[in-house]
Amino acid sequence: MKKFITPIKISGGVIALAGVILLILAPFLGKNFFDLLWAVEPFTYLGGILLVVGLGVTAATYSGAERFIKNSDHGLNGQNGKHSWSETTLQYFQLFDHDLGRPLRRIIGKERELRAVMQANPGSSDAGVIELLDEIERQTPNFRLMMSNIQVLIQLESPASDDEVQLVEPNEVIRRIADRYTPVAAEAGKEITWWSEPSELGLVYANTNAIEHIVTNLVDNAVRYAGTHVEVKLTKNPTHFFVRVWDDGPGIGAQYVPHLFDRGWTPEVVRREEKSSSGLGLFIARNLARQSGGDLTVESDDSPDGEHHTTFLLSLPSNLTAELNGVR
């Protein structure tokens, strides 16, 4: 829609100008064409109408464009999602993961110490204690993701947020995410495999944080719902690169697919069970993808045969230039 605003604005100006010219020339044109004084009037009326219509069109495009740009550039789900956070609140947001991270690090550090002690003295291990330690370790990736999701949500809704573009090696970004989720998947008896075509994708200009954050959420989601396998595949064309995240989970019913990117939606909502995640991940992922000039789509098959799966496809522009995005 944005691309139509300028031509409409120009057209309005041209119509208004034609109206002014017609008003000036009306007496002369009327005389030449009809040689009667009353015949001037139709041209005067016509000129006046054109002037009013032209000015109206131009004024409407100015106010409409401002409203459109506000909504489309910063809005979440088509609304203007920006808040005017106070300085104190913003400062707190910047430090909140540090504040929340400290007690979490203490708990997880203690859990790992205790596990090391128990491994050194196998006879002293109590099944209940081991179960507790396992549960703490299992929940750690959820805490990590939740903290970064909240950070990104704040950034998306902050007036000062900007999209920093850098030279990124997508293969290395996927390697980092695979490092993080391979042990999580293995713990649940699942496997992650990833590759790129071609095998070295090279460097692209993109927003590193956005890619890492979106794909982390997709892989987290895939590991959560996969049967045994998760696959991540990277490809590119001259203008975009693509990350496909596939899992062999039970799939999502066609009726639920439209809600998949809704804030707070998880499959457990349908079954009225306890949510296994906040339901923020996919909502943020799609908004971040679109804000970065790309998109996130999903395809799923929930048939009970062996073909059931879910595939998310992330596409992001790979040729964002340094000049366009303020990279020094």
Partner 1 sequence: MARVNAGRNILVVDDESESDILRAVRRRLEEEGWTTTVIEPESGHSLGEEFEAATLWSIEQTLPDAVLLDVRFGQNRDDQFRGLSILGEIVERWPKLPILMFTQYAQGPDRETAVRDSLKWDAPVDFIDKLASPDEVVLRLRRLIGTAPESIPIGNHILVDVSARLVYVGEGEDRDPALEIQGMKFEIFRELAVTWYRSPGELVAFARLERYSEGEDPRASLRVRIREIKDAIGKAMNTRFGPSELIINIRDQGYRLVPPKS
Beta bridge partners of residue 138, listed in sequence order = none
Q: What is the CA radius of gyration of the chain?
A: 29
Q: Which residue in 141, 163, 174 sits closest to 281, CA to CA?
A: 141
Closest CB 56 distance from partner 1, rounded Å: 45
Measured from the CB atom, the residue of 202 and 253 that comes closer to partner 1 is 202
* Residue 130, C-beta contacts closer than 8 angstroms, at least 6 positions apart: 118
Count of all residues that appear for the chain in the document: 328
Residue 191 as a binder of partner 1 (CB under 8 A): the answer is yes
Residue pair 150/281 in contact by the 8 Å Cβ criterion: no
Pick the piece of the chain touching partner 1 (CB under 8 A) from 60-68, 185-193, 260-268, 288-296.
185-193
Closest CB 258 distance from partner 1, rounded Å: 29
φ/ψ of residue 232, rounded to 5? -125, 125
Rounded Cα–Cα distance for residues 32 and 41 (Å): 13
Residue 205 as a binder of partner 1 (CB under 8 A): the answer is no
Structure tokens at 192: 């992650």
Q: Which residue in 262, 258, 318, 319 sits closest to 285, CA to CA?
A: 262
Residue 98 as a binder of partner 1 (CB under 8 A): the answer is yes
Residue 193 as a binder of partner 1 (CB under 8 A): the answer is yes
Measured from the CB atom, the residue of 223 and 260 that comes closer to partner 1 is 223
Choosing from 74, 82, 180, 308, the residue that interacts with partner 1 (CB under 8 A) is 180
Residue 113 as a binder of partner 1 (CB under 8 A): the answer is yes
Closest CB 159 distance from partner 1, rounded Å: 15
Residue 213 as a binder of partner 1 (CB under 8 A): the answer is yes
Measured from the CB atom, the residue of 137 and 262 that comes closer to partner 1 is 137
Choosing from 58, 61, 182, 310, the residue that interacts with partner 1 (CB under 8 A) is 182
Residue pair 199/162 in contact by the 8 Å Cβ criterion: no
Pick the piece of the chain touching partner 1 (CB under 8 A) from 3-11, 80-88, 124-132, 189-197.
189-197
Write down the residue that tokens 């045994």 correspond to. 228
Residue 299 as a binder of partner 1 (CB under 8 A): the answer is no
Choosing from 56, 109, 202, 253, the residue that interacts with partner 1 (CB under 8 A) is 109
Residue 87 as a binder of partner 1 (CB under 8 A): the answer is no
Counting Cα atoms < 13 Å in the Cβ hemisphere of 23 gives 13
Measured from the CB atom, the residue of 18 and 114 that comes closer to partner 1 is 114
Classify burial at 116, counting beta carbons within 10 Å of its beta carbon; exposed 0-12, middle 13-18, buried 19 or more. exposed
Measured from the CB atom, the residue of 113 and 295 that comes closer to partner 1 is 113
Instruction: State the number of binding residues for partner 1 (CB under 8 A).
Output: 42
Measured from the CB atom, the residue of 134 and 164 that comes closer to partner 1 is 164
Q: Are strands 191-197 and 229-236 parallel, antiparallel or unpaired?
A: parallel
Residue pair 243/314 in contact by the 8 Å Cβ criterion: yes
Closest CB 196 distance from partner 1, rounded Å: 9
- CA distance from start to end of the chain: 31
Outline where 35-167 has alpha helix (H).
40-74, 87-120, 127-156
Residue 309 as a binder of partner 1 (CB under 8 A): the answer is no
Site for partner 1 in 130-159 (CB under 8 A): 137, 140, 143-144, 148, 151
CB atoms within 10 A of CB 238: 6
Contacting positions for partner 1 (CB under 8 A) = 97-98, 101, 104-106, 108-110, 112-113, 116, 137, 140, 143-144, 148, 151, 164, 166-167, 175-176, 178-180, 182-183, 191-195, 197-199, 208-209, 212-213, 231, 328
